[in-house]
Structure 1
Amino acid sequence: MDEKNKVLIVDDEVSMTDLLHEILTTAGFDTEVVNDPGQAVNLLNENNYDVMLTDLRMPKINGIDLLKQALSIRPDLIAIVLTGYGSIESAVEAMKYGAVGYISKPFRPKNIINTITKELEARDIKKQNVQLKRMLTIYEFSESISSTLKFEEIAEIIENACFSLLPAQQVMVMLKKNPQDKSFNIIHSKNQQGELVTSISKEVKEFVNEFLDNIEPNKVKQLDEMTLLALSMTRKKYLAGIFVAVLFPDFQIQKEDLQTLQILANRVSISVENHWLIQSLKSSLNTIHSQQQRVLDLERQSTIGEMASTITHEISNPLGAMQMAMEYIKSLSPDQDPEQLNTALHSIDLGLQKILNIVNNLRKISRGKDPSLSFVTIEEILVNTESFMDFLLKKNKINLVKNIDPNLPYIKVDQSQLQQVFTNLILNSIDALPDGGEIEIQVHWDQDQKLMIINIKDNGVGISPDNINKIFKPFFSDKIGQKQGSGLGLSVVKKIIERHQGEIEVSSKPGKGTTFTIGIPKEPQSPN
C-alpha cells in the first residue's frame, strides 16, 4: 500500500483549517492542522511533512517568517501560501523565500488539490532526476576506479566524486596498501579549487581520530565553521581506508547523500582489495620464482658435476689407449715392420676422433644456433637422410619403411638441422637392431593441432623403464659393449626440436621396440 503524503495546514482561522482538513483528507492526503505558527515550528522539528499550506497573515509569526523557519528545518518541504489579501507584491515575496505556489482566498477545492498534486509530482520528478544523476556519477567514477590499481589515482577519483556530489570545501582520502598495515600509507587531500592540501586543521584531525577510535559506516559532526563527514571503506574484516569531507556549515546532509557515498566507498574498497590480492600474488610468485631458481641452481651444479665426471671418464678411455699406443711406438726399433707402427697410429687416430666427437657434440648442445628456416617438405629431408644412411642400413640388414602422407604441406624448418635429427634417431634405431630388423617412418599433418607428426619406430631391443626418462640427458647411454656412445646424440635431437618450437616424446617396450614421436607446430604455408 502506497504511503500517503503528509500535509501540514497552518492558519489562525479554525474554520479554514477544518475546511482544508476535510477537503485534503477526502482527497487521500494525511493532514494535520495547527492554528498557532509556533506550534507548527515544533511539529516541523518533530515530523517529516511533504507539503505545508500556510496563511500569510497570522498573529505572533506571519507567513513569511514561518516560511523561512520551515524551509531551514525541512529544505525539501513544498510550501504553498494561502491568503485573503492576495497581491502581486506578497506573492513575489513568498516565492522569494521558497514558496512554490500561491493561492488566494476564497479558493476552489479542486484548485487546492490540483496545485498540491502538481507540486508533489514535480518534486518526485526532481528527486528521480537527482537520483539518476547520483547513479550516473557512481557509474562513471566506478568505471574510473575499475581501470586503475594506483592508489594515488583511486584517491583522486574519490575526491572528484565527493566534489561532484557534495558542496565540499576540502576532501581527504586515506588508504592502506596492505590489510595488515596499522597506519595509512596514502593520505591525499584536495580543496575545492583542485589544489593539493598539505595541512589539516585541528578540528579535522580531532574528528578523524574520533572516527578511527570507533569505526562506523559513516559519521557526521556539525560545527559552527563547518560540517564534517567521514565514511569508512571496509572490505570483509579489514579497513581499506576512509574519506573525510569538510562541508559548508549550512549544508544539511541527506540520507540519499550518505547512501550514494557509501555505494562509492564500497566500490573503492573492492578495488583496494583487488590491489591487495594482486600484491599478494606478486609476492607469492616472486617467492616461487626464487625457490625455483634455487632448485635450478642446485640442479645445474649437480649436472655440471655429473657432466664433468662423465666427460672425464669418456675422454680418459681414448686418452689411455692413445698413451699406450704412444708407449708402444716408442718401444719400436727402426727396422721393425711398418705395419705395427701404422696400427699404433690408427689407434691414436681413433682416440682423437672420439674426443673430437665428444667436443663437437658438447658445442652443439651449449651453443646451438637458431634454425635457418626455409620452406621445405619433410619427404625431401627424409629422402636425403635415407640416401646418406643407405650404406649403414644395408650393412646392418635393416629394412627402412616409409609411410608418408602424399598431401603434406610445406613447413618452415632448418633442413640441415632436421636431417641431423633424423640421422641421429635412425642411428639410435640401428644400434638397437644388432641382428637386423625394420625401421618405420610415419609422417602426417594433424590439421586440428596444426602439427607435423613424425614417428620413427623400430622393433629392436627397446629401452628399460628405469632409463626411459633419462635418455635425453647429456652423456646418458643405455648401450653396452662396443656400441656404447657418448650419450649426446639424443640430447642434440631434443635441443634442435625445441629450437623449432616442437616437442619430442619416446615410448618403448623392452624386447619389442621403441618409437620416437616428433611434433613440429608450424602453420602450413606455400612457398612464394
Structure 2
Amino acid sequence: MNTSSLGRLLIVDDEIELLNSLADKLARQGYETVRFSSPHEALNALAGRAFDLLLTDLMMPGMDGITLLQAARKIEPDLAGIVMTGQATVQTAVDAMKSGAADYILKPFKLNVILPVLARALELRRLRLENLQLRETVGIYELCNAIAFTLDHQTLLNKVIDAAMQQCEAEEASIMLPTDKGDELRVAVIRGDGRAHLVGERVPLEHGIAGWVTRHREPLTLMGEVRDPRFSPVQARSDIRCAISMPMLVGGKLVGVLNVNSTNRRQSSTMGQVKSLGILANTGASALESARLHLAVLRAEEQYRSIFENASEGILQSSPDGRVQIANPAMAGILGYDSPGDLIAGVRDLGSQVYQNGQDREEVKRLVEEHGQVQNIELRMVRKDGGRIWVSLNGRAIRNSQGKTLRYESTIIDITRRKFAEESLRSANEALEQRVRERTAELEAANKELEAFSYSVSHDLRAPLRAIDGYARIVISDFGPSLPDEAQDYLRDVLRGAQQMSRLVDDLLGFSRLSRQPLRKQPVDTLKMVQKCLEELKPVVAERPVEIRIGDLAPCQADPNLLKQVWFNLLSNAFKYTGKRNPAVIEIGCQSDSLGSTYFVKDNGAGFDMRYVHKLFGVFQRLHRAEDYEGTGVGLAIVQRIVQRHLGRVWAEAEPDRGATFFFFLPSLGSNSLESSDIEKNQ
C-alpha cells in the first residue's frame, strides 16, 4: 500500500461529472486518486504505474467494469477492485466477485457508505500482500530445508532455480556460474520453454547483463526492452517484460548469477520481492559454496587416501605411549604384517615390539620433543616373524594449542639392502685398500730397485761408451782420409750407435726417476715453451725443411721442466717421421673447455697401423720399420708417465703413410679431486 496516502485509487467512469465529484471527495479524505473516463486509457495507465485499488463503473461503452477488472488483474494480480453500479442484482454481485472484485457499491453514492467499503477492500489487499510475503518466506524456508539434506551440486542448482521461479511467478530463469579461469560465465541450469539447449553456453564477463552484475556485484531489475548500452544483453529480446539479475554472494565471493525473466508481468517487481529474491539467491549461494567445499574436501581426502594407500614409504601414526593409531599398507609390509589392521591390533607398544633397542624410540622421542621433528635417523627394527631390518625414519610431533604432544607421525623406509650393500662395499674397499697398500709397497720397492739398477747400469755403460765414442772420433779425425770409404762409413755407424746408446742410458735413467721426482706445478705459458723447444730443434729443421703451423695454445698449470720434456719428445718424434715427406707439415694446436685443455701435435709423415696403438707408449716398442726408426724407444713412454703424473692422459690417432696425431690432456686446476700421488700409487 502507498505510504504517502490512504491508498492510490484508479477511478474509471464514463460519466465525467460523477467521476470528478467522486474523485475530489475521496481525495479530500486522504486518498490519492487518478481518474479516467475510458477503460482502455485506464489499462494503459495501470501498465505504467502501481495502484492499490480499481474503482470502476459497471456499464461503460466499449468495455464493462467486470471485463476491465479482469484485464487489470492480469496486469496486477494483487490489485483490489470495487464495481460501481446503479442496477444491482444478485447476478451482478456474483459476476463482480468472480472477476476478483472485493465488493460493489450502488449509485448514487453516499460517502459514509463508500468509505467503509474502500477500507475493507484495501485491508483485503494488505492481507493478500502479507500472504504473498508469507509465501515468499515459506519458499525460502522450504529451500533451506531442502538444501539441508543434500550437498549434490546439481540438485542444489535445481532447487534454487525452481524456488526462484515459484517465488517470482516467472516464466524463465537461469543460474550462471563463473568458469575456472574467471573470465566467463557458464549457464549451469535453465528453465523456460525452448531454452534447455542453452545449458553450457559461455558468456564473457565484458558482455551481457549477467556480466555487468558479476563485475559490480549489484542486483539489476529491468523493464521491457533494454536500450541502455551498459546492460546490453547478449541476445536482445523484446518479449521480456520484467527481468531481475541477482548476484549470488558468500562472504564477498561471487558464486554465480541468478536470472529471472517474466514475459507477462507489466509492472516492475516490488522492493520486497527483489529483497526476497536476494535472500533466496544468497541462501542458495551458501549452499552451493558448501557443496563445492564439501566436494573439494572429498577429492582431497580421496587423493590423500590414494597417496596413503599406495605410498612406497611406510606411514605411521602413534600415540606418545607407543600404540599404533594409523598405518598404511607399506608400513604393514615393512614390518611383516598382513594388513594395517593386523599391525594395529598386534602392536601394543612400539618400543618393546618393533624397535630392536627400546632405547632407540626414547631417543627419537627426545629429539622430536626437542626439535619438533627428526630426519633420516637410521635404526634397527624387528619384523613380526622376528627378522631384523634397517630403516630410515623421519618423524614429527603433532601438538595442541597448549603445546602438548597428541601424537607422532612418521615415514619409514626399509634400507636393509642398502645397509648390507654398504657393509659389503666397506669390506671390499678395505680389502682393496689393503691390496693397494701392498701393491704400492711392491711398486716402491721395485722403483727403488729399478733406480738403483739404472744408476748401476748407467755407471757401468758410460765408461765404455765414452771410450768407444772417443776412439771412434780419434780414428776418424787422425786416420779418416787414409781409410777406405767403406771403413769410414763403419766408423761413423759405430759413433752413431755409441751416441744413441748414450741417449738411451740417459732416457732410462730419467724414466726411472720420474716416479720419485716431486711435481712443482706453476703457471706455464705454453706458446713460449713450444717456441723454445722449436729453437732447440732448429738443427733438425735445417736438415729437413718442414712447414710448422701453430694455433692458439692455452696456458696451463704444470711442472715446467717435465712439460717441456713432453713437448720436446713429441715435436722431435714428429720431425723424425715427417721430414722425409714432401711437403712436410707439422700442426700444433689446442682445444679447451671447463675441464681442461687438450693439446696436439699433428704430422703428415709415415703414420702407423692403429691395430698396434696399444703398444705405442710402452718401453722399447716400435711401430715403424727398422730402417725408419731413429729413437731410443723410451721417449713416448716418458711422455705418458709425465702426463699421467699431471692427472691427464695421452693418446694417438694415425693411418699408415698418412701421418699421425698425438694428443695429451691436462685438467684445469681444481677440475679433478685426485692427488697425483693417487695416480702414481696405481701405475
Shorter-normalised TM range: 0.3 to 0.5
Larger radius of gyration: 2
* Higher RCO (CA 8 Å, separation ≥ 6 residues): 1
TM-score by length of 1: 0.48
